[in-house]
Amino acid sequence: MTTLSGMPLLHRKIDLCFRHFDTDDNGFIDREDLLTLGSQLLSKFGEPVTSPKGTALMDGMTRFWDALVAAADQDGDERLTRDEYRDCMTGAFVESPEGFDTSFRPLAEAVCALLDTDGDGEVDEREFEAWQEVFRTAPENRADAFRKLDADGNGRLTVDELLAAVRQYYLSPDADAAGNWLYGTVA
């Protein structure tokens, strides 16, 4: 497995996502963190919780949380440490791609649908950067991430391209994979 800064690449990427999900920065992820993140996304895009996109996103967050707890909450405290989260993402989703497809892909699809504000199947750089802001991607990395993922340079990402980048981010050990830039540099 390729390493950056002495840590396996997949672990670095998973740890970065842990920071995204730990919205209150208390060192744990719990159900409230995921619902807070979902609410922040909906607010950023002006989407009501009760709209079809809002419902899909919040349902996706809930299903993802339930899958995380079932796979990783070793001590039954309804919150995940960084190690529990890393073990879960690696064991239940990375090493078992069907787990990714059943538990994580619906959430990724809901996020992508939310980003696609006009329903044309594409996400522009402004929409992408708004998502990245909510996920607390470093501001200096947002534009670079978009350009790395925009392989054809047309200034838009299709929802399918974005979903492929999400999958590549979580599943690929290749240090040169474009999907590694989903949330900026992991170096």
CA distance 5 to 137: 19
Residue 26 has pLDDT above 90, yes or no: yes
The pLDDT tens digits for 49-101 are: 999 999 999 999 998 888 888 888 788 899 999 988 888 777 766 666 676 77
When pLDDT is cut at 50, 70 and 90, the band that residue 3 belongs to is very low
Reported as a pLDDT band with limits 50, 70 and 90, residue 2 is very low
pLDDT classification of 6: cutoffs 50, 70, 90? very low
pLDDT at 132: 93
Mean pLDDT of 162-184: 84
Long-range contacts of 77-85 (CB under 8 A, 24+ apart): 78/30, 78/31, 79/28, 79/29, 79/30, 80/28, 80/29, 80/30, 81/27, 81/28, 82/15, 82/18, 82/27, 85/14, 85/18, 85/21, 85/29
Check: pTM over 0.75? Answer yes or no.
Answer: yes
